[in-house]
Amino acid sequence: MPHSKQFLVLAAVVALTFGARAQESEPAADCTLSLKQMHFTERDVWRDLSRNAELVAPSRMQSDANSGARRRTVTPPKSPDAPVIPARNYIDIEIFAKMRTDGVIWTTLSSDEEFLRRVTLDLTGEIPDSATVNTFLTDTASDKRDKTIERLLASEAFNDRWTMWFGDLVQNVTNATNTTEYAPGRNAYAAFIRASIAADKPYDKMVRETLANPGRTFFNGETNYWVRQTQNNGPVQDTYDNLSASTGEKFLGLPLQCLSCHNGFGHLEQVNSGLAKRARVDFWKNAAFFAQVTISRKLDPATDSPETTLVDNTTGVYRLNTTSGNKTPRTAAPGAPAVADPAFFLGGDLPQAGETRRQAYARMLTAHPQFARNTVNRLWSELFGMGIVEPLDSFDLARQDPATLAAGATVQPTHPQLLTLLSNDFVAKGYSLRALLRTMVQSSAYQLSSRYTAGTWNESWTPYYARHYPHRLMAEELLDAVFRATGVGGSITVAQLPAPVTKAMALPDTIEGGSFRGFLNGFGRGDRDENGRTNDSSIVQALSLLNDRVVTDRIKATANGSTVQKLVRATTDPSTIAEGLYLATLSRYPTTAERAAAVTFLKAGDLTKQTEDLQFALLNKLEFLFN
């Protein structure tokens, strides 16, 4: 290993280790989680965001003075005055008004370089290529950011990125602990999701189809939602419960799982004051919407895998007669019916004539205001690093409106009015994911710099969004960024697909990956089952970027079509080479100081080897690893 790389080993390991959580704080598995622990979970999100921001893009005072006072509590700065930031839409009115009221000074707008890389990664999961960066930076049009947003929203890469997001949400995966979709079903599900995203299908319609459509799992991909929630080691009521709890969590942001085993009273007061008032029978009635489905399985000769067919019936019931399985016994109260009839958990609505139970449930769920509130909260978290409500799947409906709070209660959303405005806008624009994402990324709040320029950063300001919070690239984004930066792509064979995929973001689930599986797993993509996706950093990740041949083979001049190969063949000018590497790897031009240092480095030895080492160094910068 060259001497320059020995230094990089130490630097990268120290930086990534410092960026990792010192100690994980996961919620308890049962429902006795205290309010204090829930509050800590939210604060843990704030702490991670604040730490990463100061690590990757430190505040002006911290970076200039190198004082070491990264997260101390300080008085909100009164001078200089807050930068003048244009209000692009209602998001800005709400975000900046709260900061003005509470005396928090926001940072400046992001540079063009910072904005382009951020919005390209957020909307498409890709870093921009060198030509795109150069074109954008030399464009003098006042509306170039809006035009870039429109281009990204219309791209095929957008469809891949948000197919991955919804696939994570519904946990589309070939094999899980309790069930198997099989590769053909998994692929059909991913195809359904991608086609829906590409068509800008209204999100409420997409979810209704996911919850209620009948059909064959290898052809009607959305039917795999049922298969994914199947519980194969208990009574059928366990599957109904899984579907009820899963839909509540994913599409309403409600942690209903606790109610599947016991009443809220006496268990949930310290966790969720709204659910503390609900009974187990309310959950059973919600689960009863899934009790009228007939399941059959048949071997598909084309794929040699058993295919499931779902057909709605009119005879199924949710019986309260179980003493085995994964739940406490289901028994009716004295004098009550021994079956649970369907009634929607939020409002108690009943099925209408002419619709199946699942159609009724899908209609009620997507029409309820909480459906839109949950959706916009999840999308906000994708772009801003944390939700307006945290944790994302733990809405407390008794703490949403400041005007109706019980005595002693605190409002849960950091910006209640903003959450309402976003939800209403989402509904008014036909549940369009693109329209909602456009509104978010066009806002000045989204386009703030990640570097805090008003003085020393205070961790307590995190929920105000006074700066943009860098987050580590998701595993698939990072691998694809390595492909693009180095100019050397990859080919990944996927089970039951006719051709390999050439980007990780196009993988149908988080089990596939071919020879890149280890790299992707190391960067926390999870398994869509027992291990969720994480953006935490680790020593393993540092070592992967330093030593994995996914990186080291692609920086070589001998790699066909590599960025290094093209640069050293095109020129021997160190300044031009340095510029090309920065554009390809970090999506920006080098600063004056960086250019001078790079030129000195490139002249210090064999130009080809030095060029390889310089890109290696850039790939190991936190700036490359974080967005």
Structure confidence by residue, pLDDT tens digits, 466-520: 999 999 999 999 999 999 999 999 999 999 999 999 999 999 999 999 999 999 9
- Quick one: pLDDT at residue 19? 41
189, 355, 484 from 488: Cα distances, Å: 30, 53, 7
Tokens of 384: 């801003």
Strand order in the sheet with 305-312: 215-216, 305-312, 293-300
Mean pLDDT, to the nearest integer, of 333-354? 96
- 26: pLDDT strictly greater than 60: no
Whether 615 and 165 have beta carbons less than 8 Å apart is answered as: no
Mean pLDDT, to the nearest integer, of 330-348? 95
Strand partners, 319: 339
Q: Within a 10 A sphere around the Cβ of 274, how many other Cβ atoms?
A: 16
- Going from N- to C-terminal start, the domains of the chain cover 112-155+369-446, 216-221+232-367, 555-625
- Quick one: pLDDT at residue 141? 97
- Quick one: pLDDT at residue 382? 98
- 82: pLDDT strictly greater than 90: no
Tell me which residue of 207, 189, 167 sits closest to 364, measured CA to CA. Answer: 207
- Quick one: pLDDT at residue 32? 45
Mean pLDDT, to the nearest integer, of 324-334? 92
Reported residue count of the chain is 627
47, 101, 450, 470, 575 from 415: Cα distances, Å: 19, 13, 20, 21, 48
pLDDT in tens, 530-543: 999 998 889 999 99
Strand partners, 448: 109
pLDDT band at 13 (very low <50, low <70, confident <90, very high): very low
Q: Which residues of 198-237 are buried (b: 16+ CB within 10 A; e: fewer)?
A: eebbbbbebbbbbbbbbebbbebbbbbbbbbbbbeebbbb
Whether 591 and 111 have beta carbons less than 8 Å apart is answered as: no
Task: State the average pLDDT for the chain.
Answer: 91
- Quick one: pLDDT at residue 62? 56
Distance separating alpha carbons of residues 496 and 305, to the nearest angstrom: 11
- Quick one: pLDDT at residue 63? 53
pLDDT band at 406 (very low <50, low <70, confident <90, very high): confident
Q: Locate all alpha helices (DSSP H) within 429-534, ordered by sequence.
A: 433-442, 475-486, 517-522
pLDDT in tens, 489-498: 999 999 999 9
pLDDT in tens, 432-470: 999 999 999 999 999 999 999 988 999 999 999 999 999
Percent over 90 (pLDDT), the chain: 83
Out of 35-39, 184-188, 479-483, 588-592, which region has the weakest mean confidence (pLDDT)?
A: 35-39
* Identity of residue 30: D
Label each residue of 138-167 as H, E or C: HCCCCCHHHHHHHHHHCCHHHHHHHHHHHH
Whether 221 and 185 have beta carbons less than 8 Å apart is answered as: yes
Mean pLDDT, to the nearest integer, of 299-327? 95
Residue 159: HSE in the Cβ half-sphere, 13 Å Cα cutoff: 15
pLDDT band at 21 (very low <50, low <70, confident <90, very high): very low
Which letter does DSSP use for residue 506 in this model?
Answer: G
- 66: pLDDT strictly greater than 80: no
- Quick one: pLDDT at residue 265? 84
- 411: pLDDT strictly greater than 80: yes
Distance separating alpha carbons of residues 154 and 440, to the nearest angstrom: 16
Distance separating alpha carbons of residues 596 and 7, to the nearest angstrom: 19
- Quick one: pLDDT at residue 29? 39
Mean pLDDT, to the nearest integer, of 527-554? 94
Q: Is 6 exposed, middle or buried (0-12, 13-18, 19+ CB in 10 A)?
A: exposed
Q: Can you give the pTM of this predicted structure?
A: 0.92
Tokens of 157: 């890469």
